Structure 1
Amino acid sequence: MLSRRRRRRQQREWILWGVPLAMVAIAGVLIASTQRQADYADWYDHWFTAFGGVVIALILQRLPLQRLQSLLMPLYGLTVISLIAVRLIGTTALGAQRWISIGGIHVQPSEFAKIAVILLVAAVLERHPVERPIDLLRPLGVIAVPWLLVFIQPDLGTSLVFGALMLTMLYWSGMPVEWVILLLSPLLTVLLSLQLPWDGLQTTNLQSLVSQAFVEQTTPIWIALVSWSVFTALLAFRSLPWRRLSALAMGAIQISTLIVSPILWGVVLQDYQRDRLLLFLDPSKDPLGGGYHLLQSTVGIGSGGLFGTGLLQGQLTKLRFIPEQHTDFIFSALGEETGFLGCLLVIVGFALLMGRLLQVARHARSDFESLVVIGIGTMIMFQVVVNIFMTIGLGPVTGIPLPFLSYGRSAMVVNFIALGLCLSVVKQSRRLNILR
């Protein structure tokens, strides 16, 4: 009976190992397809990097996460230093300064920062669960510094991953769902404010920005913004201490967010970031500029039909109609060459992976390990959803890679580090069950 249970448990780990390795295998072929007409061929690096990642995962699998807790602050400090170094000596590419060159290899510290943040936030939430609003200061303080350093690179996509990590881990630690909604509320206010006529906002003069943003507003947008502000104030009144003060503070936060939004839009965001946020709604407005990626990506996926054109047979992929297809837009190559069925299999694979991670998180032996696994699951699935939505035209281009499929050394290594940490939790949980 015991041996049968062990076999079942071992079979389950085919999900944790099988899904990532299958993704890596197909990705190598897809990347090779995108480089058929290129002057270079480095698709094999994808497999070599994955092999190194597998070795790292096997090592981490044998290391109990509790032993890492004494190293979390040094690891976090090293992460912050590396992000600062990006600003000082980093390598610039594609309009952003995100990499450090080490021995001729470009390393992206923001990828490793995600793991460091997950580990430290998990440790903080285990020791200091969020029971009062003031308890939010600790986890938010942990994530604030790396988030800001990543945002100003600028790397909007990775900064969004940090936000998703924080909210999910806070909820998993037991924070009320009403508080999660309140933390998310400024984001919805910003999204609503994007409907305001901010086209052409390029000035740095505060008075001019505000006048341009708010003079010509339509009534429905104002009704939505006011209704949302009232709703959040009422939610704060019902769920937070010092009810009246909390309601007033939440209303002030919404108003402040609305006022700051045009400044962020016109001054902080780069031109290409504004284009990405607007053109996904109608990429045909600039078919040869900011909307080109989205249009070509959707055409490529649609041309694959049900079964696809076959691996290494995609014509749009061969002729390199889609920029950065081996990295951010690898899903479009998948759609063209494997069709709807290939895309469906990949999505099902990621769903199985997330389902297994949820099981691991539920049966972890400590809150720390459970929070680490749920943070890793959030990191992977948030990137999957955002990347796929981006390539099929349901979201803006954010530069978030597709885990295990997109080409990228740092991202690949981080994904396998994450896998190794989850496998460590599985191993320790099994030992605890056997001892019982």
Structure 2
Amino acid sequence: MMGFGRNKISSFKIVRNKKIWRDIDLVIWIVPFILVHLSCFLIASTQRNLGITDWYQHAIIAYIGTLIIYFLAQVPLQDLRKYTLTIYFLTISTLLYVNFSGTSALGAKRWLSFAGLYIQPSEFAKLTLILVLASILDQKRFSDLSHLMKPLFVSFLPWILVFIQPDLGTSLVFGAILLGMLYWAGMPYEWAFIILATLVTGLLAYVYQFGLFIWIPIIGFLSYKSLPHQKKLLTLLVVFFHSLIAKISPWIWESVLRDYQKDRLILFLNPSQDPLGGGYHMLQSKIGIGSGGLLGSGLMQGQLTKLKFIPEQHTDFIFSALGEETGFLGTLLVSFLFFILILRLIKIAIDARTDFESLIVIGITSMFIFQIMVNIFMTIGLGPVTGIPLPFMSYGRTALFVNFISLGFCLSVSRRGQSVRRNL
């Protein structure tokens, strides 16, 4: 009997261990682990001989984030749904407070100082927007253009508060999250085009105003053709909205954007026009990546990195240190890791148990995709310098913390999706 009992206990332990390992999503655990530890070497390399230990803080936040992933994985995201409105208003209140009483650095007021720590509320606002949009879009069926009003409104408030800090990069991430989640919720392609067309409208308003007399009627015609109901009224609203964008865009460019932001948006087309000013970061970043060749100079061996040719390289331009010290193969490996992480998140969104959970995962995926693409394009000279960090690699305590919270949400959805499939 005693032997039988021991065998029974051993069998129970084996089954339990198998269940634990079966619930572990290796991609979500392993990919961030590799990226963070590689980044610690790169951050240390950018700051060697300076006596700064940001790499150490980066690692600590990552280890805390790993615990957060584990605990959030146990929480059903449906339990958060009843708190989304409270979280949203708390986020808006925090962003308002930052704009009036926040801590300034590098010409922007983005941080709150708390117990010696600097917290960036705009990073948490990205997660808040994802939760609120998921709650709204879970109940939406896009049969009318007016159904866009609520998602656009709840996105506009945090967007404008972050934009005026000023934080152009994070405000652009809000737009990517909104479009990704609207698409996943079933928004028609024509409506997505109408929204994206506002960028062209704003550009024409500043560069070639006569073109608006052709462009806005085209948008109006496409709106009329794509709308199933109330065609005339909603087409007039679309035309009015684009006319409003055309009116305020020159004012935003002249009065709201700072000079350095204008330089960043223009000089990426030809950074050599101002090699010691607005184009300096991009030129030096391209030189650093190019100098790495195929295999790179080796970790902690980059000469351009050592001599601090690229300011703030440990944050927004960490990819340039990667290119110099690990070469083309290193950048290819990191890009591949990001690729399989994104594929895994999309698979989790597809297999999610509810539309609400699926929308949360796709919002997080949209956030990661946009940040990865914009940051890498920025460092290799294919896009403007926007100040968007590279997930899990750029130094930034709040941003890294939010990235791990995001993965915790995704792992929660993954585990529940797996349990549903096993019970089918």
Which amino acid in 2 is paired with 1:423?
L
2:216 partner SS: helix
Task: State which drifts further: 240-249 or 310-319.
Answer: 240-249
Q: Tell me, yes or no, if structure 1 residue 271 matches structure 2 residue 259.
A: yes
Task: State which drifts further: 346-355 or 328-337.
Answer: 346-355
Q: Match for residue 77 of structure 2?
A: 65
Q: Report the CA distance between 1:120 and its aligned residue.
A: 1.1
Q: Match for residue 16 of structure 1?
A: 28
1:124 alignment partner, one of 121, 127, 136: 136
Q: Tell me, yes or no, if structure 1 residue 27 matches structure 2 residue 39.
A: yes
Classify 1:135/1:247 alpha carbon distance in 2 versus 1 (closer, same or farther; 3 Å).
closer
Classify 1:249/1:327 alpha carbon distance in 2 versus 1 (closer, same or farther; 3 Å).
same
Q: Report the CA distance between 1:87 and its aligned residue.
A: 1.5
- Give CA-to-partner distance per residue, 1:359-393, whole Å, 9 cap, x none: 11111110000000000000111000010111111
Q: Match for residue 120 of structure 2?
A: 108
Contact kept, 8 Å, 1:189 with 1:258, in 2: the verdict is: yes
Q: Report the CA distance between 1:41 and its aligned residue.
A: 2.5
The 2-side partners of 1:321 and 1:401 are apart by 19
1:232 alignment partner, one of 219, 226, 244: 219
Q: Report the CA distance between 1:137 and its aligned residue.
A: 1.8
How do 1:155-304 and structure 2 match up within 5 A?
Answer: 155-193=167-205, 195-196=207-208, 222=210, 225-240=212-227, 241-304=229-292
The 1-side partners of 2:343 and 2:186 are apart by 20
1:127 partner SS: coil
- Give CA-to-partner distance per residue, 1:29-87, whole Å, 9 cap, x none: 00000001324222111100100111111100011111111221221122112111212
Identity of counterpart residues, as a percentage? 53
Classify 1:288/1:157 alpha carbon distance in 2 versus 1 (closer, same or farther; 3 Å).
same
- Give CA-to-partner distance per residue, 1:305-345, whole Å, 9 cap, x none: 11111100100000110011000000000000011111111
Stretches of structure 2 lacking an aligned partner (at least 5 in a row): 1-14
The 1-side partners of 2:110 and 2:312 are apart by 16
Q: Tell me, yes or no, if structure 1 residue 404 matches structure 2 residue 392.
A: yes
Q: Report the CA distance between 1:13 and its aligned residue.
A: 2.0
Task: State which drifts further: 137-146 or 324-333.
Answer: 137-146
Contact kept, 8 Å, 1:57 with 1:421, in 2: the verdict is: yes
Which amino acid in 1 is paired with 2:175?
G
Contact kept, 8 Å, 2:84 with 2:131, in 1: the verdict is: yes
Q: Tell me, yes or no, if structure 1 residue 338 matches structure 2 residue 326.
A: yes
Q: Match for residue 312 of structure 1?
A: 300
Contact kept, 8 Å, 1:37 with 1:320, in 2: the verdict is: no
Stretches of structure 1 lacking an aligned partner (at least 5 in a row): 197-213, 215-221
Q: Match for residue 135 of structure 1?
A: 147
Q: Match for residue 368 of structure 1?
A: 356
How many residue pairs get aligned? The number is 407
1:68 partner SS: helix
Q: How high is the TM-score relative to the length of structure 2?
A: 0.92
- Give CA-to-partner distance per residue, 1:283-314, whole Å, 9 cap, x none: 11111111110110011001001111110010
1:425 alignment partner, one of 391, 413, 422: 413
Task: State which drifts further: 179-188 or 316-325.
Answer: 179-188
The 2-side partners of 1:194 and 1:351 are apart by 37
1:80 alignment partner, one of 81, 84, 92: 92
Q: Match for residue 208 of structure 1?
A: none
The 2-side partners of 1:251 and 1:141 are apart by 18
1:43 partner SS: helix
Classify 1:312/1:272 alpha carbon distance in 2 versus 1 (closer, same or farther; 3 Å).
same
The 1-side partners of 2:292 and 2:366 are apart by 30
The 2-side partners of 1:167 and 1:412 are apart by 23
The 1-side partners of 2:381 and 2:105 are apart by 24
The 2-side partners of 1:297 and 1:332 are apart by 5
Q: Match for residue 10 of structure 2?
A: none
Q: Match for residue 152 of structure 1?
A: 164
- Give CA-to-partner distance per residue, 1:127-185, whole Å, 9 cap, x none: 23333222212212221211111111011110101011111101100111111111111
Q: Report the CA distance between 1:232 and its aligned residue.
A: 1.7
Q: Report the CA distance between 1:121 and its aligned residue.
A: 0.7
Contact kept, 8 Å, 1:301 with 1:332, in 2: the verdict is: yes
Q: Report the CA distance between 1:188 and its aligned residue.
A: 2.0
The 2-side partners of 1:146 and 1:264 are apart by 17
Q: Report the CA distance between 1:226 and its aligned residue.
A: 4.9
The 1-side partners of 2:274 and 2:405 are apart by 40
Q: CA RMSD in A?
A: 1.9
Which amino acid in 2 is paired with 1:42?
D
Q: How high is the TM-score relative to the length of structure 1?
A: 0.89
1:397 partner SS: coil
Q: Report the CA distance between 1:249 and its aligned residue.
A: 4.0
Q: Report the CA distance between 1:253 and its aligned residue.
A: 3.5
Q: Match for residue 217 of structure 1?
A: none
Which amino acid in 2 is paired with 1:128?
K
Q: Match for residue 358 of structure 1?
A: 346
Contact kept, 8 Å, 1:15 with 1:352, in 2: the verdict is: yes
The 1-side partners of 2:388 and 2:22 are apart by 32
